[in-house]
Amino acid sequence: MRRALVTGVGMQVPSRIVTNKELESLVDTSDEWILQRTGIRERRVAGPDETASSLAIVAAKEALDRSQVHPEELDIIVVGTVTGDMPFPSTSCLVQAGIGAVNAGAMDVGAACAGFIYSLCVASSLIESGQSRNALVIGVDMLTKFVDWTDRSTCVLFGDGAGALMVQASENGDRGVLKTVMLADGTGARHIEYPVGGSKYPASGEQRTPAKGLTMNGSEVYRFAVTAMGDACCRVLDEAGYSAEEVDLFVPHQANLRIIQSAQKRLGIPDERVFVNVDRFGNTSGGSIPIGLYEAERSGRLKPGDLVLTVGFGAGLVWGANLIRW
Ligand code: UT7
């Protein structure tokens, strides 16, 4: 069977670190509250010249370098993002131009914090079907440019970042993307939204701005996330014929340490097999899982042959999980 094998990783985050302490001067919050409720200590915040594509291009170049693939060899670029440079053209096209991938098609996938899960499924399915051989999969978001910096219930949660995976066709091996589940419940759309700048509330013309930035019903999303994370993991493991004990590394979406721990508990996976970096980056949405995979591999926690379980959830509502033999 042909599989989509991960052959290289890349990441990029803005250099500016914003600590919880710094946020105390912006909104009525405290380092203690943020740390206790979310596990976040600091996050990276983009400057005015940084965009989703500028981070994605750096991450993409690193993944290409590490896999020793030339940009001209790419046949598809899939970018999971909901905070692209602009409504159109797609961020993937800006990446395609930025890295000189002259033979590649390019598409964005809009699945918020599950954007990378969905994007990896698109790329691996294209590879398995024979449509593509060399795919670049990127998860990137820049939510700090979309939050209302006067709303303490949301602005403390997010950070910016991009992660990239090079995935290539591999014949008859047992390594690669084994299975993905993708789930959605659009009846929960109102629980996290950024309604401005689309066809409902266009950025120009007679704009009736319903909110200053993204809005979120935190406790509703929390409840959903706790169930969704565990459900998606159990389902992908079950469909692929594995059990949670066989997972070498669990790389969940980094939104909130308490949500991660509840999924970990349900699956019975010990601490040493759970990757956590929410303390340093906050919730980077689509960037979170590929950044986690990058850091896990670069720090030696993820080795060829390891069974990796990823899971994500977010605005949509959407959720899903990938099972990968690294
Ligand atoms: O990737 C998907 C994106 N979204 C998420 O993952 C979010 C999921 N939800 C969460 O992570 C949590 O619900 C939050 C971290 C957002 C909030 O934690 P919580 O334990 O559910 O707190 P809460 O919303 O129930 O709020 C408790 C209190 C409230 O005060 P009162 O009404 O009890 O007096 C809030 O006003 O905490 C207050 N609060 C804050 N206090 C200090 C809310 N935000 C802050 C803040 N600093 N930044």
Which pLDDT score, from 0 to 100, does residue 125 have? Answer: 98
Tell me if 51 sits within 8 A of 90, measured CB to CB.
no
Is there an atom of ligand 1 within 6 Å of 159 CB? no
Across the range 237-259, mean pLDDT stands at 98
Which pLDDT score, from 0 to 100, does residue 205 have? Answer: 65
H helix intervals, the chain: 20-23, 31-38, 52-67, 91-99, 115-129, 152-155, 218-240, 257-267, 278-281, 288-298
Ligand 1 binding pocket mutation candidate from 34, 37, 185 (most atoms within 8 A of CB):
37
Give the chain's length: 326
What is the 81 CA–ligand 1 centroid distance (Å)?
Answer: 24
Sketch the domain layout of the chain as residue ranges.
Answer: 3-172, 177-277+286-325
- Given this chain, do its domains 3-172 and 177-277+286-325 carry the same CATH topology? yes
Q: Which of 93, 113, 155, 233 is catalytic?
A: 113
Which pLDDT score, from 0 to 100, does residue 69 have? Answer: 98
Q: Which atom of ligand 1 is nearest to the CA of 288?
A: 1
The overall longest dimension of the chain from CA atoms, in Å, is: 57
> Could you give the CA distance from residue 210 to residue 195 in angstroms, rounded to a whole number?
7
Please give the mean pLDDT across all residues of the chain.
Answer: 96
Residue 32 CB neighbour total at 10 angstroms: 9
* Bond prior to 89 in cis (omega within 30° of 0): yes
Across the range 228-256, mean pLDDT stands at 97
Please check whether the domain covering 177-277+286-325 is classified as CATH 3.40.47.10.
Answer: yes
- CB-based contacts of 184, cutoff 8 Å, min separation 6: 316, 317, 318, 319
Is there an atom of ligand 1 within 6 Å of 283 CB? yes
Using pLDDT thresholds of 50, 70 and 90, give the confidence band for residue 207. low
Which pLDDT score, from 0 to 100, does residue 196 have? Answer: 87
Inform me whether the pLDDT recorded for 206 exceeds 70: no
- pLDDT tens digits for range 254-284: 999 999 999 999 999 999 999 999 999 999 9
Q: Catalytic site residue 283?
A: yes
> Could you give the CA distance from residue 177 to residue 315 in angstroms, rounded to a whole number?
24
Across the range 214-236, mean pLDDT stands at 96
Q: Which atom of ligand 1 is nearest to the CA of 258?
A: 11
> Could you give the CA distance from residue 145 to residue 150 in angstroms, rounded to a whole number?
13
Using pLDDT thresholds of 50, 70 and 90, give the confidence band for residue 212. confident
What is the 164 CA–ligand 1 centroid distance (Å)?
Answer: 30
Which residue has tokens 């950024």? Answer: 194
Nearest CA to ligand 1 atom 44: 153
CATH of 3-172, one of 3.40.50.970, 1.10.10.10, 3.40.47.10, 3.40.50.1860: 3.40.47.10
Inform me whether the pLDDT recorded for 162 exceeds 90: yes
Across the range 279-294, mean pLDDT stands at 98
Q: What angle do CA 98, 104, 105 make, to 5 degrees?
A: 100
- CB-based contacts of 264, cutoff 8 Å, min separation 6: 250, 252, 271, 274
Across the range 98-125, mean pLDDT stands at 98
Which pLDDT score, from 0 to 100, does residue 152 have? Answer: 97
Across the range 222-238, mean pLDDT stands at 97
Inform me whether the pLDDT recorded for 210 exceeds 90: no
> Could you give the CA distance from residue 38 to residue 42 in angstroms, rounded to a whole number?
11
- pLDDT tens digits for range 32-80: 999 999 999 999 999 999 999 999 999 999 999 999 999 999 999 999 9
**DSSP structural state of residue 273:** G
Which residue has tokens 């091996």? Answer: 173
Q: Catalytic site residue 70?
A: no
Ligand 1 binding pocket mutation candidate from 153, 256, 279, 318 (most atoms within 8 A of CB):
153
Calculate the CA dihedral of residues 184, 188, 192, 195 and round it to 10 degrees: 100
Inform me whether the pLDDT recorded for 211 exceeds 80: no
Across the range 77-100, mean pLDDT stands at 98
**DSSP structural state of residue 125:** H
Tokens of 1: 């069977």
- Across 154-164, b (16+ Cβ under 10 Å) vs e yields bbbbbbbbbbb
Nearest CA to ligand 1 atom 41: 29
Is there an atom of ligand 1 within 6 Å of 314 CB? yes
Across the range 9-37, mean pLDDT stands at 98
Is there an atom of ligand 1 within 6 Å of 222 CB? yes
Q: Catalytic site residue 256?
A: no
Which pLDDT score, from 0 to 100, does residue 202 have? Answer: 85
Residue 178, class by beta-carbon neighbours within 10 Å (0-12 exposed, 13-18 middle, 19+ buried)? buried
What is the 155 CA–ligand 1 centroid distance (Å)?
Answer: 11
Inform me whether the pLDDT recorded for 223 exceeds 70: yes
Tokens of 79: 């970018």
Tokens of 81: 């993002």
> Could you give the CA distance from residue 221 to residue 215 in angstroms, rounded to a whole number?
11
What is the 219 CA–ligand 1 centroid distance (Å)?
Answer: 7
Which pLDDT score, from 0 to 100, does residue 220 have? Answer: 95
